Every structure is written in C-alpha cells, then in structure tokens.
Chains A and B, each alone.
Chain A
C-alpha cells in the first residue's frame, strides 16, 4: 500500500516504511534540508512542519514536530516544510526577522517561520500573547527570543481591523499579505482528490500500538522501524469528545489540542484553556493524545493527573471485547498498567460533575512552558455553600505512578472549607505520597511544593474565603 500526500506543492506517492519519521523523509528522501534536526525529542522545534488535513471542505493546519511524526500520519494530508512557505522575495515575517536580527546562526529559524505560520493559519486572535503560545515549542539559543517576539509583533500590525470568518477568507488574506504562497488556495481540492488506502492492523498479537507517538518516538524512534507498528489513528476514528446522558466521553486518540478547542470542555472546565498552555508545546499538544499520555504511565503525566481528578474510567479493547477500569486502579506501579499486551485504549469516560463544582490544576516545572512537572496536581470539588459534597484530588511527581490521593480526597468529604481544613489537607496529602529525589527536584522539595500547590488550589477556588497569607506558611 502506498502513502499518498502532498508535500509542499508536490503530489507524492511512496511505499516508504510508514514508521520513518517525516523529518528523515524530508531531509533524506526529498533533500529538503530547511527542516533541521536539533534534538529528536520534540523539545527544540527546529524540525517543525505543518500538516494540513481535510475537515469538511476546508483544511485544518497544525504545527507538529516532524522528528516524532511517522510518515504514515501524513497519508492523504498536506505536509508543509519551510521551503513550502517561501514566496517570491521574503514574507513579512521573514523580512521582519532579517531587519530585527531575529535570526543569528539560522539553524532554528525555519522552525520559527513554520510555527509562526501555524499561528497565522489557525489563531482566533492576531495578538502577541497568542503568537507566543504558538512559538513556545521552538528554541533559539542565539537571540534570546526578544527580536523574534518583536518580529512577530511587526507582522501583527498588518492584521489591525481585519477579520476573517472562514478558511477561504483567511487563506486569501494571508496570500494577499504575502504571508503564504499562492498554491495554498488549491490545496483543498487537491487533497479531496486523493484516494486514500487504509492499512489494516496486521497480527495484533505482537504489535506496538502508537497513538500520537510523542513519547514513543522519543524513546525508541529507530527501533520502531523494525517493529510491527499499529497506528491507532487508523482504528480510533470518529468523534473525539461527546456526551452520553450523564457521562462525558473522550476518544483515546483525542489530542490535548482537541480538548483545548472543544466547546464541550470549555463549558464544563472553562479553566482548561488556561492550563493547556502548560502541557508540552503547541506542536506536542497537536499530536499528544490522552491514550498515549495515560499509557506512557509517566508518574508526572499531565493528562493523567488531570483525568484522575475527574475520577475517570478507561475503556480497553482487544479488538473483540471491551472492558473498563477506573484510571486510579489502572496505574499499578512504576510503568506497570492493568493492560494486556493485545489491548489498546478506546476511550475515557467521566461522570459529568454535578451540582456546584470547582476545578483547579497546578503545575510547577523548572521552566514554565514545554517542561515536565516537578509536581502537578489537580482537584475537582463539589460544594454547597461552604460544605464540600465530593472531592477528587490527584498529584504527579510524588509517587511511582500518577497518584489519586485517596486519603486526602476522603478527608475533604462533607467538611467545611476553612483554613484549618486546607492545612489539614496539605498534611494529609504529604503523608500519602512517596516522592523520590531526581532531576526534577529533591523529595523534600516535592513534598513541600505539593503542600503549597494544594493551598494554591484553595486560593484559586475560594478567593472570597482565603487571604494570600493563609497559603504562605
């Protein structure tokens, strides 16, 4: 079976090993060397590319790290490298980078150009803060980023008093401003004309299931070339986020970006939009899936900690039968899951929070963006006046698994929200964790930090009850 897609302005049909990364495909097979390898772990963004996928009758573009993207995942899509963004002369962003000296050695620069174009193609608002969110997955070691920000801002001036209401208008505007080459206009019809073939899962007994691949390709990118890889994107199709009765369901292949952009999530957890920027980078969020994040079983998995506080259930399938298990019971020990080798995760179920409820998520890492937590913690709390009706508290980085804080959660039930309760909770939590000292901090630090973050939860949830000094001891 051949993969068929459009690479920049060129139709490609290839029988390449589907586990080859798009980075290697571009650099080695297409000799398009503007896309650089800086780390092969999705942490520098020098390899950023755009992937455009048909969604209705328009194309949804996303920036992704090509070092973590198997070429199978661009089947039927539009792959854009920096070369595919060049116009005659320079785009206004490229020109600004040159004039501002927002590029020095030039190695990271193509990645910034790609990520900024992702911003132009998909942002809801043309402002500087949003632009930065799209650029947090890109590292520049030379300039210190200040001139990259000022370059980005220069271009924003072109969008003053401009509005776009649909995809076609946006593409037309970007082309008219010289920010995108003309050929983008025809991409929807060209993509629609591609007849995709689907590869069925072969021999599911001895397979590696790959969801978004943002962890697996870091850990074993080259080994995957020799393995029987099943890309779950071929299996977990259909809706990403939906409600059935009193339950909210999340497809295991839903990405963090899918959640971030979901109107359902926005309604139930309006805070999610603010905290999503703390999870990886735009490129990672566009690929990292809930199923992948849970099954990687990292003790600090951001989504695992989030979902634990929602008392989520996970649904597993071996292709024939399906079973469900509470997420808090799914994590058994360090990187040990209640999962058989032939099972993959289908979906995650959450009982919709009832009554009055509050939600809070806290994460502290060395660097605020694109970093792994030292400690992260999440809480969902139902209340009636000052009385707590139910509570689920979780924390990462404090045990061999993403931890549901069972004693602490029970401690809260039917109690009244007071400073004494908050302090008691912090102590209870400290007593049920077992952090270790590692590169993300000492055990002592993690314990003290979790206690402070629990107080930060209460400060955020009940600003009318707590004063700042309540949390500062």
Chain B
C-alpha cells in the first residue's frame, strides 16, 4: 500500500507553512533574545528598533494583555523575559516589520543591559545547589538494600549521554491571521495545535474559542515541535493582535538551533548487582537530567526515563531516582524516545561492564535477563503478550550472534589498521502517554453525497505516514479505495482538545477514533439498507470493494449508490468518534500502575569498523528483528524504523551538542553540528518483521513505530566501544556519549588513564 502523500512530496508540490502564500499585508516577526545565560535585566532600550524604517511594532513583556506564561506542565516559563533572563536565546522582545530582513535588522538595534548572575550548565552542579525543576522522583520495586548482600558481583559507574538537535529540515514557523471579532487563526508547524490555542488564549487574555489553530504538515518534528512550536505561534498571535495584520514568523536555522531546546543530556550514577550466574538482582540508579532553564516537558520525560530504566530486562529489586536539574540552557524538550533512551543506555553500559568483569559475552548476560511473560516492571505493570524473548531468539537464529563474534574476532586477529566491534541491543518500549489524561483522541468523519470521505483528527502529519494510515482505516471500514478518502489538516475547530501527536501514539489513537466514527456511519448505512430493501434484520451487511454485500454476497448496490440514497433519505453521513485508550491508569504518588497500553519489542545486532590510525568509523551492518504487531502499512513502518535507528545512531556517535561555560551553544550551524548523511548510512540494514500471532495492541492490532527503533542505536555505541577496545589493548573506555571520531581516537592515542 503506497503512501499517497509521497507523490506530492517527490514532485515538490506538498505545501509547508512557509510555502503557503501569506495574505496581502502580512507582517514579519523577528525575535530579540537574551545574549546572556543568566542575569537581571537592568534596562531594555527598544528605541533603535522602533525608529527603524519599516518596523510596525516592537513588543515586550509590557505589551502582553493576558498572562505572560507559556509553561505547560509547570508554570515557569515566560513568553518574553521581563526582569530576569535564564538562558542565551530566551526571547525578550518581538519586532514586527514589513519584511523578515527589516525585522531582523531592527532587532539588532535593541539594546539590553544585564547584571550577570552565575551560569550553571552542568546538571549535577545544579542539583548540588538545589536548583531543581521539581522534587526528585523515585520508582522502585523489591528491596535493593537487602539484595546487595546476595549479589556475587556489585559495581558502580557513571554514564553520560549528550543532547541532540532535532534538526527537522523545516524550521519553526507560524502565521497568525486576524479574523473578525478579535479572533485569530494561527497556522503553525506544530505537533500540538491545542497547546497553541490554549496558550495564545491565556497570553492574550481571551477564551480558547477565539483561536483556531491549524497544522498543515510538518517538515519533520521528532518531538521538537510538541511544546516548542508554541512560543513562536503565540508571538505571531500577539503581533497580530497588536497590529491587526497577519504576522508570520519563520526561524532561521541558526535561530532555531540557538533558541529551542534539545534532547536532554543526562549524567547518571548506577550501582548494579549480579548473581554468580549472571542474573541482575539489584539496580540502583540516579539520573541527573539537564532540563535547561524551564520545565517544558522535562517532568514527563523524566518519568519515562525512570519507567524504562530497566529496558527489556526483569530486575526484581530496583530503586531509580530522577533529578530534573535547572540549568542555564534553553529548556530541553521532547525528542523521539522521550527520556527512554537515556534510561536504557545506562543499564546497557552497566551490562557491558559486568560482562567484562564476569568474563562473559555481553549478549549472554543480556539474554539471561530478558523480561518474560507476566513479569513486572518497576512501575507495577506486568508484561502481556511479551515478545522480548521471541524477538531475541528470532534475531539470534537469523543473524547468528556466535558466528558474528567469530568473524569479528577473526577479522581483528588479521587486521592492524582496522578493528571491528559488534553489539546486540534488545528494546522494550511502553506505548501511551505516561500522563494517562492525554490518551484520548477524536475523529470527525464526513461522507459526502458523492461517496468521497473526509477525515479530520488530531494527528499531525510530519512524515510518519499517519495520514495514510488513517485513510487505510477509513477505507477498510467503508470497503472503498484509499483514493476516496482525504485526511484533512489538523484544526482545533474541527477537533477540539486534541493531544499532541507524540508518544508514537498518533496512528493508534486517532486511527481508533476514526475507526469508531466510521463504524458508526457504517452502522447507519447498514440499517438504512436493510430497511430500504425490506431485508431480514439479521442480514449481515458489509462494505467491500466499493459495493454492498449481504451475507457475504455482492449486491448491485455500489458505495456511491447507497451513500446518495441514504443522503436523500436524510441519514446523517457524518460522525464524531472518540477514543480513550482502555485499561490504563497510573498513580503518580506511588509511581505504580498500568501506564502503557502495550509494549513494543525488538532486537538489533550492529557491527562497526574503526580506522585505527584516524579514529573514524563506519557501520557495516544493522540486523533487526522488530515487533511491528500486525502492521497496516509495512512500507511506511519499515522506513520509520530505519529513520529512527539512524537518529539513534546519530545521537550516540556524530551528533555533539557543545555549550561553552557561558552557556553559549557553539555548535549552532549545520557546518558544526553533524547528523548522519548518505555516506554515513550502514552498508546494510535488514529489518525482519516478527511473526505475530497473539497480539493485542493499537489500531487493527498494529503497533506504534515512531520511537521504539530509536533505541537500536545503543548497539552502535557499544559496537564502537568494542572496536576501540580491540584497538587500544582493552583499556577501559569511559561511557560518555556521543562516541565522536575524536573520542574514539583519544581512547586509542590519548594519555593512558
């Protein structure tokens, strides 16, 4: 099943926000932001910008009619700084002018005086000074204190993982258009139109129903437009309110990199205990999450780190504590995996170290500890239809870990200039928003009198193919071709109170809401058909191949015919479907419950080759067995898995975010921040779909695909660690991701520790 969206993409005909013709008279906005990472604002002089020809307004906190507050989970983030600045890039003023160029030139004429305060960029330092976003959180099970004595091997370690720039190819952008009565239509490249609607209402001191927010399609999101599209959209709305004209904001790449948050860097201390047989008995871990200057989504992200701290394994005694540390960096935010990868990475580091100490292969330890059916995660949920071992065993037999090991060893014995390494990574990822409330979705389905269908949901298309999947759901229920179905842009007037398209759950939730809405219309049509044709009430009516079937037999009535007759008989051809993910609950006081609808599993084997003279490397192969459930679109899902994998590899290898001690991002251009390119692609990527007989998952029993494969990237990191160790005579490699070529090189040639 092709993704029809793609046909417009490849011809350059898809319309992104900046391609959308702005209405005549549109003004353009530029952000003036703090040049210092922390300090008190002593003075702000906007006169130079105000006088600049072509400028229509220069807005500061004083111009906000409502509340100067955009914080989602915690109300701790101002739209425009007024008394204090807490990171470089924090918006202070907003210039509205006749062109982008004019607005940017004028913004440079704004002068700010800041009395500097201490800048903290390290999360542990922040924690020591008591600078926390919220109280620490602990997830625990069993009794680790008692368990340590039973462990044959106990050791401790520290693990660091770096940030990651989303690098959606389309930068943050929005357009606010005035409509009558003071209402405003906001078009934004956002994963969360409702958040923009609500925040604009709050900031402008109006009610939600004055704002219509629409997301057309996104040039990539990856979490970076879940919470952080809001500020730019609300600034555009503010500019629109003040000037009465449409206002457009499109961040330049450098602005986008400087002003927006990224994946959270973590520093984590762990203590782990194994039995002599290699079973993990106890695990204690403290996560120091670098939240940046405001909460943003950090609390929820920390929850997922804690929930996924045991990865795909069963550990009976766990105590995991998370500290969300307030630093002077841009507020870090959602990014594919949402804290899960950072949690799993620490445990993998511990397992790899343990394997060395116990003198066994890491994959032998991994295998011994895989979680099984009915075993419990530290957050109190038991596995159901657990596929951890199924994926592992399938991968093991298909890709033969032992012979990979033999080949790598043989290669290394014969090669001096190049060394190989490999690693295996099992993944397990819970599907649902950890905040139960957000697990709701609606779908508005219209069948038009000509039989064509329009579906509106809260799911924002950003490349993940959700539009196509939703069309497939509607097409399946109406028994017509996907050509007859249109997925509309997400719009808060058509779908209210939408949750963000995030947590991999877009297709599950909005697909199910669409299924419910379509089923309701289908029911009405069936009843109508029975009564119109005076059939027995027990007649089974189905819609297939564009025709009505009775008791499995094709009739002469086409879809178009039944629709037009139903319309003429005044049957309602529209429906609003609502879906609330069933059976999920969570008690945030105890940190126990059943937060996830289901889990996604898989196993990856990655092999890397290291150039021992230069410290550069490449990936030879990635072999994966992944649990897709009953995929409704294998072509889309496979591409999603590969894309997530490569982002995961990028996070742990090339992608290095550097802030200097003054809190300034020094990797603020694409020439300094490198993401995987075509030349970095592994020579071979093979993804096997796990055969799935018993499954109880998302829409039509498919499984969410957006985030889970990201964590396969962890295998790439340890494959490199193993190659480096083959090159440096087995000296210890500190686990401090990303493993850039510089770090690989310094682990070979740097001063021996």
Q: Please, which residue of chain A has its CB at the minimum distance from the CB of B465?
A: A104
Q: Name the contact of A141 in the complex, choosing from B168, B666, B745 (C-beta under 8 A).
A: B168
Contacts of B2 in A (CB 8 A): 98-99
Which of A144-152, A315-323, A335-343, A383-391 is the interface stretch? Answer: A144-152
Contacts of B21 in A (CB 8 A): 31
Which of B197-205, B282-290, B642-650 is the interface stretch? Answer: B642-650
Are A444 and B170 interface neighbours, CB within 8 A? no
A30 nearest CB across to chain B (Å): 13
A445 within 8 A of partner (CB): yes
Interface size on B, residues (CB 8 A): 81
Are A145 and B170 interface neighbours, CB within 8 A? no
State in angstroms the CA–CA spacing of A370 and B678 once bound together: 10
Contacts of B746 in A (CB 8 A): 442, 444-445, 448
- Please tell me the size bucket of the interface on A: 35 or more
B612 within 8 A of partner (CB): yes
Q: Name the contact of A38 in the complex, choosing from B7, B11, B169, B639 (C-beta under 8 A).
A: B169
Contacts of A149 in B (CB 8 A): 678, 681
Contacts of A46 in B (CB 8 A): 169
Q: Name the contact of A97 in the complex, choosing from B10, B462, B658 (C-beta under 8 A).
A: B10
Are A100 and B10 interface neighbours, CB within 8 A? no
Given A82-B12, A364-B741, A105:B614 Cβ within 8 A: no
Which of A162-170, A184-192, A233-241, A452-460 is the interface stretch? Answer: A452-460
B707 nearest CB across to chain A (Å): 14
Are A113 and B642 interface neighbours, CB within 8 A? no
Within 8 A of A (CB), among B198-249: 217-220, 222
Are A101 and B639 interface neighbours, CB within 8 A? yes
Q: Name the contact of B742 in the complex, choosing from A35, A222, A442 (C-beta under 8 A).
A: A442
Q: Name the contact of B612 in the complex, choosing from A141, A218, A472 (C-beta under 8 A).
A: A472
Given A34-B12, A46-B169, A144-B681, A104:B464 Cβ within 8 A: yes
Q: Is the interface of B mostly helix, strand, loop or mixed?
A: loop
Which of B77-85, B520-528, B534-542, B668-676 is the interface stretch? Answer: B668-676
A354 within 8 A of partner (CB): no
Contacts of A82 in B (CB 8 A): 11-12
A424 within 8 A of partner (CB): no
Are A144 and B647 interface neighbours, CB within 8 A? yes
Q: Please, which residue of chain B has its CB at the minimum distance from the CB of A144?
A: B646
B613 within 8 A of partner (CB): yes
State in angstroms the CA–CA spacing of A103 and B7 once bound together: 9
What per-residue 1/0 map shows which CB atoms of A130-147 lie under 8 Å from chain B?
Answer: 001001101111111111
Given A132-B679, A141-B168, A472-B612, A43:B671 Cβ within 8 A: yes
B398 nearest CB across to chain A (Å): 19
Are A139 and B169 interface neighbours, CB within 8 A? yes
State in angstroms the CA–CA spacing of A44 and B749 once bound together: 33
Are A107 and B12 interface neighbours, CB within 8 A? no
Within 8 A of A (CB), among B611-641: 612-616, 618, 635-636, 638-640
State in angstroms the CA–CA spacing of A144 and B645 once bound together: 8
Are B678 and A135 interface neighbours, CB within 8 A? yes
A241 nearest CB across to chain B (Å): 27
Are B169 and A368 interface neighbours, CB within 8 A? no
Q: Name the contact of A109 in the complex, choosing from B10, B612, B679 (C-beta under 8 A).
A: B10
B271 within 8 A of partner (CB): no
What per-residue 1/0 map shows which CB atoms of A78-98 lie under 8 Å from chain B?
Answer: 000111001000100111011
State in angstroms the CA–CA spacing of A136 and B674 once bound together: 13
Contacts of B170 in A (CB 8 A): 36, 38, 105, 107
Are B646 and A103 interface neighbours, CB within 8 A? no
A195 within 8 A of partner (CB): no
Contacts of B677 in A (CB 8 A): 136, 138-139, 145, 367, 369-370
What per-residue 1/0 map shows which CB atoms of A358-381 lie under 8 Å from chain B?
Answer: 000010111111111010000000
Given A147-B639, A472-B613, A136:B169 Cβ within 8 A: no
Given A107-B219, A364-B741, A439-B666, A449:B615 Cβ within 8 A: yes
Within 8 A of A (CB), among B1-50: 2-3, 5-16, 18-19, 21
A270 within 8 A of partner (CB): no
Are B741 and A98 interface neighbours, CB within 8 A? no
A245 within 8 A of partner (CB): no
Are B3 and A146 interface neighbours, CB within 8 A? no
Q: Name the contact of A103 in the complex, choosing from B10, B18, B218, B252 (C-beta under 8 A).
A: B10
Contacts of B463 in A (CB 8 A): 104-106, 142
State in angstroms the CA–CA spacing of A364 and B617 once bound together: 11
Are A469 and B416 interface neighbours, CB within 8 A? yes
B733 within 8 A of partner (CB): no
B562 within 8 A of partner (CB): no
Q: Please, which residue of chain A has its CB at the minimum distance from the CB of B748?
A: A472
Contacts of B8 in A (CB 8 A): 106
Contacts of B18 in A (CB 8 A): 33, 37
B222 nearest CB across to chain A (Å): 7
Are B612 and A456 interface neighbours, CB within 8 A? no
B195 within 8 A of partner (CB): no
Contacts of B654 in A (CB 8 A): 366-367
Interface centre among B9, B13, B669, B681 (most CB of A within 10 A): B9
Contacts A/B (CB < 8 Å), 19 sampled: A34-B13, A36-B219, A38-B170, A43-B670, A90-B7, A105-B168, A105-B220, A106-B9, A107-B168, A109-B10, A139-B167, A142-B463, A149-B678, A374-B742, A448-B746, A449-B614, A452-B614, A471-B613, A472-B612
| A136-B677, A367-B676 known, 14 other contacts, Cβ within 8 Å | A38-B253, A39-B669, A43-B671, A105-B220, A107-B168, A142-B643, A143-B646, A144-B643, A145-B676, A147-B639, A365-B741, A366-B656, A368-B680, A445-B746
